């Protein structure tokens, strides 16, 4: 189990999270998932988990503030409020606070590039490729300025079964002084199993979910319509981690559990 969460941490380093208004384009993601009788907003996510690398207990509590159905800010208990800004097409253009800025670029309806700038520490740029409306590849360049300057590269390919992302293959490398990339010879493969219940992340705009898929500790699974119930990792001995959910009467999860890992979801 430590191995699988070590890999997840490597792929999807947790940074400050943002959120936004309910999804405008979630129809293709929700194929086969029962629609709720009444629209909802994601109000709060509270997580407690043990870092499998350090054995430290981690806590996250994110609360969202809306103007009608549109998120205008969010606040983590350990961070200042973050502002969410939109372009003229009512898509997210920027997420910002004094610690970092995230900008979004688009091609047609899809987000094509996301850039995360943490001043004097790092700049991360991720470019996306789509098949129809589903992300099939993400290429990430990450330039670190502190503590030791270096530049890394990663490429994640996604495979789907219907509306759910079921396999993610990660290739990683490091830029050399001559500009070439020295690739790690071993790929990491994650596979996911889902329940036919509605993921709370389908309440968020599509572009924001794409952003989360690159930084959340369960990243790829957030691209899916259903709730993930099992995560498996390769190469080497296949390791499985299973999750148990509690759902409300609209089939939204209110709680997700595994050993040393609990997340609660609140709605409005």
Work out the number of other CB atoms within 10 angstroms of the CB of residue 145. Answer: 13
Pairing of strands 134-144, 150-161: antiparallel
pLDDT of residue 119: 96
Fold of 2-267: Porin (2.40.160)
pLDDT digits (tens, 9 = 90+) for 225-245: 999 999 998 876 557 889 999
Percent of the chain with pLDDT over 70: 85
Distance (Å) of CA 148 to CA 119, 120, 143, 172, 177: 15, 12, 10, 19, 14
Cross-strand pairs, 152: 142, 174
Question: If you average pLDDT over residues 76-98, what whole number do you get?
Answer: 92
**Domain locations along the chain:** 2-267
CB-based contacts of 222, cutoff 8 Å, min separation 6: 199, 201, 209, 212, 213, 216
* DSSP character string of 33-98: SPPPSS---EEEEEEEEE-TTT--EEEEEEEEEEETTEEEEEEETTS--EEEEE-TTSSEEEEE-S
Q: Residue 20 pLDDT > 60, yes or no? A: no
């Amino acid at each position: 189990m430590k191995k699988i969460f070590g890999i997840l941490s490597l792929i999807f380093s947790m940074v400050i999270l943002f959120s936004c208004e309910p999804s405008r384009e979630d129809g293709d993601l929700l194929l086969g998932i029962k629609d709720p009788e009444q629209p909802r907003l994601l109000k709060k996510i509270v997580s407690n988990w043990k870092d499998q690398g350090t054995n430290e207990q981690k806590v996250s509590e994110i609360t969202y503030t809306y103007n009608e159905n549109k998120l205008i800010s969010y606040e983590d208990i350990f961070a200042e409020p973050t502002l969410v800004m939109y372009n003229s097409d009512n898509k997210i253009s920027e997420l910002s606070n004094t610690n970092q800025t995230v900008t979004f670029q688009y091609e047609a309806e899809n987000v094509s590039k996301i850039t995360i700038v943490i001043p004097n520490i790092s700049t991360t740029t991720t470019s996306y490729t789509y098949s129809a409306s589903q992300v099939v590849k993400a290429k990430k360049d990450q330039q670190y300025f502190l503590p030791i300057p270096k530049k890394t590269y990663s490429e994640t390919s996604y495979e789907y079964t219907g509306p759910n992302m079921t396999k993610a293959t990660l290739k990683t490398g490091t830029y050399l002084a001559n500009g070439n990339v020295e690739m790690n010879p071993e790929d990491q493969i994650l596979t996911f199993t889902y329940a036919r219940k509605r993921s709370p992340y389908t309440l968020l705009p599509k572009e924001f979910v794409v952003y989360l898929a690159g930084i959340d500790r369960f990243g790829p699974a957030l691209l899916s319509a259903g709730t993930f119930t099992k995560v498996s990792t390769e190469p080497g001995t296949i390791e499985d981690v299973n999750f148990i959910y509690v759902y409300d009467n609209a089939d939204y999860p209110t709680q997700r559990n595994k050993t040393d890992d609990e997340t609660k979801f609140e709605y409005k």
